[in-house]
């Protein structure tokens, strides 16, 4: 009995250590997210000029964007990272996985900056709030709501909510493999959330309030047990926000009307 008890104890010990390592990994992701929120609140103080806030220089925006994505996405991607850690039986490879995930979101930020800058240059003053700006913002929110109900959204959300099959199908060994798998997971995440991020631009990309609202919607969609309920609730919220922006933007709590408060001068270097 003593030998059997010792064998069982020695067998449980590695499992306990691995479970504790995964718990520490998830805790680290939440801690990084909290640090990202703290830094973002400080960095974006006074920056919110409402919908279609000026993005600033490329380097400045990309830096802000990556920290924002870490703050917003790390809590919801933590279960996937923990699953990968368990499957890889490694405490270092998840770092590569998370790096690949963030790299995909950084690439999405480059695309967002490019599109935003091109629209700003091409439309000139037509994007002003007192011209077409409020209509475009409202239409963007309604379009995001429609995307919530599309098959592509459903597929991408399914990959994010049930990552086991995706991880097995795309398994690659080593640190480079971890990076590639993280990047692949990031692609599904971008496919799931890009419309919500477009909504953030329509509400004020430098607004910590709307950033928190969008992050909450992302977390609900990815973690709430009732998947359809979460998706439909997000759709209703986006439609309501879009209608309010179109017909009564002043009635929307937390929305900074462009021109109300001068935006802080953005860094140029």
Does 40 reside within a domain?
A: yes
What is the pLDDT averaged over residues 176-196? 93
The pLDDT tens digits of the residues spanning 6-15 come to 444 444 455 5
The pLDDT tens digits of the residues spanning 237-253 come to 999 999 998 888 887 88
pLDDT of residue 263: 37
Does 185 reside within a domain?
A: yes
Does 266 reside within a domain?
A: no
Q: What is the 3-state secondary structure (H, E, C) of the chain?
A: CHHHHHHHHHHHHHHHHHHHHHHHHHHHHHHHHHHHHHHHHHHCCCCCCCCCCCCCCHHHHHHHHHHHHHHHHHHHHHHHHHHHHHHHCCCCHHHHHHHHHHHHHHHHHHHHHHHHHHHHHHHHHHHCHHHHHHHHHHHHHHHHHHHCCCHHHHHHHHHHHCCHHHHHHCCCCHHHHHHHHHHHHHHHHHHHHHHHHHHHHHHCCCCHHHHHHHHHHHHHHHHCCCHHHHHHHHHHHHHHHHHHHHHCHHHCCCCCCCCCCCCCCCCCC
Tokens of 25: 């990994």
In sign, the C-alpha dihedral spanning 149, 153, 155, 160 is: negative
% of the chain beyond a pLDDT of 90: 30
What is the pLDDT averaged over residues 263-268? 36
pLDDT of residue 266: 36
Q: How far apart are CA 187 and CA 244, in angstroms?
A: 31
% of the chain beyond a pLDDT of 70: 85
pLDDT of residue 124: 61
Does 221 reside within a domain?
A: yes
Does 264 reside within a domain?
A: no
Q: How confident is the model at residue 185 (pLDDT cuts 50, 70, 90)?
A: very high
Q: How far apart are CA 194 and CA 200, in angstroms?
A: 10
For residue 5, give Cα distances in angstroms to 9, 10, 41, 225. Answer: 6, 9, 53, 39
The boundaries of the domain holding residue 169 are 2-251
pLDDT of residue 241: 92
pLDDT of residue 100: 94
- pTM for this predicted structure: 0.82
pLDDT of residue 30: 81
What is the pLDDT averaged over residues 201-218? 88
> What's the mean pLDDT when you consider all of the chain?
81
Q: Highest mean pLDDT: which of 19-28, 221-230, 256-265? A: 221-230
pLDDT exceeds 60 at position 265: no
pLDDT of residue 189: 93
Q: How confident is the model at residue 19 (pLDDT cuts 50, 70, 90)?
A: low
Does 267 reside within a domain?
A: no
Does 269 reside within a domain?
A: no
The pLDDT tens digits of the residues spanning 120-133 come to 776 666 666 777 77
What is the pLDDT averaged over residues 69-89? 88
Q: How far apart are CA 120 and CA 135, in angstroms?
A: 15
Of 214 and 122, more confident: 214
The pLDDT tens digits of the residues spanning 140-171 come to 999 999 999 999 999 999 998 888 888 888 88
Q: Report the number of distinct structural domains present in the chain.
A: 1
Q: How far apart are CA 183 and CA 58, in angstroms?
A: 22
């Amino acid at each position: 009995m003593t030998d059997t008890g010792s064998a069982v104890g020695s067998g449980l010990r590695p499992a306990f250590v691995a479970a504790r390592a995964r718990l520490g990994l998830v805790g680290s992701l939440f801690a990084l997210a909290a640090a990202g929120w703290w830094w973002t609140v400080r960095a974006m103080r006074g920056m919110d000029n409402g919908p279609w806030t000026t993005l600033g220089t490329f380097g400045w925006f990309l830096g802000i964007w990556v920290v924002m994505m870490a703050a917003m996405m790390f809590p919801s991607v933590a279960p996937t990272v923990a699953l990968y850690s368990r499957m890889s039986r490694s405490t270092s490879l998840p770092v590569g996985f998370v790096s690949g995930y963030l790299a995909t979101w950084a690439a999405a930020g480059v695309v967002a900056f490019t599109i935003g800058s091109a629209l700003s240059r091409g439309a000139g003053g037509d994007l002003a709030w007192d011209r077409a700006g409020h209509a475009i913002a409202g239409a963007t929110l309604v379009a995001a709501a429609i995307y919530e109900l599309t098959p592509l959204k459903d597929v991408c959300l399914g990959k994010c909510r049930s990552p086991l099959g995706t991880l097995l199908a795309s398994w690659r060994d080593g640190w480079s493999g971890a990076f590639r798998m993280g990047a692949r997971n990031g692609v599904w995440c971008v496919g799931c959330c890009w419309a919500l991020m477009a909504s953030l631009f329509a509400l004020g990309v430098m607004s910590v309030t709307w950033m928190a609202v969008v992050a909450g919607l992302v977390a609900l969609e990815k973690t709430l047990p009732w998947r359809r309920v979460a998706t439909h609730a997000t759709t209703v919220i986006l439609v309501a926000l879009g209608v309010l922006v179109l017909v009564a933007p002043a009635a929307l709590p937390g929305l900074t009307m462009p021109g109300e408060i001068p935006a802080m001068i953005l860094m140029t270097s």
